[in-house]
Amino acid sequence: MQKLKVGVLVSGSGTNLQALIDGVKKGFLPCEIAVVISNKKEAFALKRAEAESIPAFFVNEKEFCNNLEFEKRMVEILKNFQVELVVLAGFLKVLSPYFVSEFTNKIINIHPSLIPSFCGKGYYGIKVHEAVINYGVKITGATVHFVDEGTDTGPIILQKAVPVFDDDTPEVLAERVKRVEHEILPLAVKLFAEKRLIIENRRVKIKGGLSDGEKASNYLGI
C-alpha cells in the first residue's frame, strides 16, 4: 500500500508528534510524516522532527501582512510535500475557512477533553484542564475529530475517557490525558490512512469496525 503523506502542525512540546513518529517507526502507521510546521520558533516539536530528519519549518506569523498570507504559506509548504492528511498536534491557532477548504475532511485535530465539553474558543492547553477541575467533573478525556470551519466542532473520530481525581492539579491531569491522546491520535491516523473512516453527516463510522488487534491494544479502553 502507498504510504499516506502526513503533514503535522505544531506549536509546543510535540509529544503527540512523537507518538506519530513512533507509530511510523513501529510499522503501526502506513504513513510517512512528510513535513512538520510550527508557528512557534522555540517549539520542541521542531527538534523532534529534525532528530528524525523530517523536514521542519517555522512559519513566522509576524512576517506576513495578514492571517491569510500566513496560512497561504503553510498551504504552499504542505502542497509542496504532497500532503494528503494534515494533523493538528497541539497547533494553538484556529485555522480560517480558507485553510480548511484547501483540505476538506483531510484535517484532524486532537483536543484534550471530551468534546463537546470544555472546548471551543478559549479552551486550549492547560486552560482546558483548569476548567475541568474547577467545574468538578469526575471524567474528562481526549477527542480526535475532523476539522471544520468552527472551533472544535467537526465530526468526532475517536474519544477516550480519563478519570479526574480529587488531588489532581491541571498539570497532573494534563499528563494523564496526554497518555490517552498518544493512543487515540495514532489510531485515528491509521484508520484514515486505511480509508476506514466514513463521514455521514456528523457521525464518523469505522468501516468494518475495529480489528481484534486494535481493540486488544486497548485503544478505546474496551
* One residue of 49, 89, 164, 180 binding ligand GRF per CB under 6 A: 89
Q: Does 90 bind ligand GRF (CB under 6 A)?
A: yes
Is 145 annotated in the active site?
no
Q: Least Å distance between CB 16 and ligand GRF?
A: 3
Do 218 and 183 contact (CB within 8 A), yes or no?
Answer: yes
- The set of residues, in sequence order, having a beta carbon less than 8 Å from that of 222 and lying 6+ positions away, is 215
Do 96 and 71 contact (CB within 8 A), yes or no?
Answer: yes
Q: Give the residue carrying C-alpha cell 502526513.
A: 6
By beta-carbon proximity to ligand GRF, the closer residue of 76 and 175 is: 175
Stretch that binds ligand GRF, among 28-36, 110-118, 157-165, 210-218 (CB under 6 A): 110-118
Q: Does 115 bind ligand GRF (CB under 6 A)?
A: no
* One residue of 12, 23, 141, 154 binding ligand GRF per CB under 6 A: 12
Residues 122-181 that bind ligand GRF (CB under 6 A): 178, 181
Q: Does 48 bind ligand GRF (CB under 6 A)?
A: no
Q: For ligand GRF, which residue has the nearest CB? A: 90
Candidate list 111, 129, 145, 182, residue with the active-site label: 111
By beta-carbon proximity to ligand GRF, the closer residue of 28 and 123 is: 123
Strand order in the sheet with 156-163: 56-58, 31-38, 4-10, 85-88, 107-111, 139-146, 156-163, 203-206, 197-200
List the catalytic residues: 111
By CB under 6 A, name the binding residues for ligand GRF: 12-16, 45, 89-90, 110-112, 178, 181
